[in-house]
Structure 1
């Protein structure tokens, strides 16, 4: 019940729950008073359907009433032990998150012997182990495919992990670092620093020229001098800076779209991307296997020795 943003809703839910239980008790009390007054002498209520169907005037079965009582008592005990009354956490302090964490810890404990045989091996050696890579693929499908795709080729704004282009570096250590700590990429709006809207278009054509893409050579030449505003991150040669995650603008890899308008939009509005950290979700051994699998996508590991 941590989603309550005011105390009112907590009290409202708790009150509604208590009122519902009291209403059940009231209903039980009413039905337990015995027979209702009857206007007939044949023990019916006087209600008739389809000419000959009559409602008998019998009290509720006692076994049913006791089941009802047991249900109410159980509900009260449950609400004391578990969350259910607004923001009250229950005496057992049980949460779905705690249950999940306990199950994950148990699973990691059971899988520890399996991963132990992988942790001491270098990435280049482990990448040739078919069993390790099968596990790495499952880890990737469960934790990474949602953004990077099942084939790891990504999509717009989500990097392709199967090529040789890396924003922060593609070495095994860098890949492990990225998975463990996550990344926060920021391209600030640079239109004001570049100049007028025409200057922004000129810079866009200069950027296109760096990768030999279709461009206006006159505009590209004019934009070259304005590119200095971008060089602090991308370098004067436009080859980027992996220490900052600044993309290489001279290749033919476009993370957020290609063409004049896409580049103009990027310069004008900027872009913020985030790769979430997996350190709290995966163990070090799992990250090692996963990083090895990702590394293997863009490299050709040697087969493991029998």
Structure 2
């Protein structure tokens, strides 16, 4: 109902609802007043197929009263709960409130489970098998949809099992990413680079930075155009975690590899978003999830 743009639709829905209930009550009242004359054998006089006669068997009284109770209940329900357009009901019940109450109850019951990890360092939590079992469940329920169950990601979704971090891979960086989310923006740069040929030459130079197969002549022509990219990626192309600018000198391509993919990135830009989890997870849950994500690329258990 929050999507209504005017009072008309609220009134329309409320009117249809009330009209339906009132119509049922009116139908019940009218039928209860109608008396049907019957013969001595309790038939109404209607005959079909020569000998098929209609009996006068009215609905039992208990059924009629159930119908009345249902109508009364409908009016009481609509007065107490939302059901008439934008009317919120006298009890103020909402689905969001019900959901939040259940979440708060579950978090309160689970709080002692997470409490023992509060004073532990991320590295120590990552080495704790019980914590990692919890972290795995948190990851599967909240992160695997984008990053995959093995955390290796896919096109446009970062691999969390390597050491390539757009915004930094320290425990504090990972915790901030999970808590606040991230928005990565690569603006369209074609106008700053020059002609379509300049863009293609720049793409070849970007390929050369990682030692990928490239056209050396075009790459040499595109090197000068890289100044348009250096503000974010640095003159050496190694990126800047403070800005979320990727390292162009490794062999990791988040949005696709090759000249065509790089040209598309330069021409069209790209916006990627990691949604904040603070509204879904408690700080204690984020603490354990941070250790789980950090541990996937640092493997603390393997060092022991």
**Residues in 1 aligned to 2:301 and 2:19: alpha-carbon distance in whole angstroms:** 69
Aligned to 1:130: 129
Matched residues in 2 for 1:127 and 1:226: separation?
44
Contact 1:125 1:302 in 2 (8 A): no
1:191 CA drift (Å): 0.3
Q: Which moved more, 1:46-55 or 1:118-127?
A: 46-55
State the alpha-carbon separation in 1 of the partners of residues 118 and 147 from structure 2: 25
Label 1:47 to 1:152 Cα distance change in 2 as closer, same or farther (>3 A).
farther
Residue deviations 1:137-159, cap 9 Å, x none?
00011111111111111111111
Q: Find the aligned partners of 1:304 and 1:52 in 2 and give their Cα distance.
A: 93
CA distance in 2, matches of 1:170, 1:290: 14
Q: Which residue of 2 aligns with 1:10?
A: 10
Note closer, same or farther for the CA distance 1:55–1:147 as it changes in structure 2 (3 Å cut): same
Counterpart check, 1:91 vs 2:90 = yes
In structure 1, stretches of 5+ residues that fail to align are: none
TM-score by structure 1 length? 0.96
Alignment of 1:220-239 (within 5 A): 220-239=219-238
Partner in structure 2 of residue 263 of structure 1: 262
Separation in structure 2 between the aligned mates of residue 35 and residue 236 of structure 1, nearest angstrom: 96
Aligned partner of residue 45 in structure 1, secondary structure: strand
SS in structure 2 of the partner of residue 32 of structure 1: helix
Q: Name the residue aligned to 1:196.
A: 195
Equivalences for 1:112-151 in 2 at 5 Å? 112-151=111-150
Q: How far does residue 51 in structure 1 lie from its aligned partner after superposition?
A: 5.0
Gaps of 5+ in 2: none
Match of 1:286 in 2: 285
> In the alignment, what sits opposite 1:100?
99
Secondary structure of 1:274's match?
strand
Deviation at 1:278, TM superposition (A): 0.9
Task: State the match for 2:72 in structure 1.
Answer: 73
Give the alignment of 1:6-45 within 5 angstroms: 6-37=6-37, 40=39, 42-45=41-44
Counterpart of 1:250 in structure 2 is 249
How far apart are residue 54 of structure 1 and its match? Answer: 2.6
Residue number in structure 1 paired with 2:109: 110
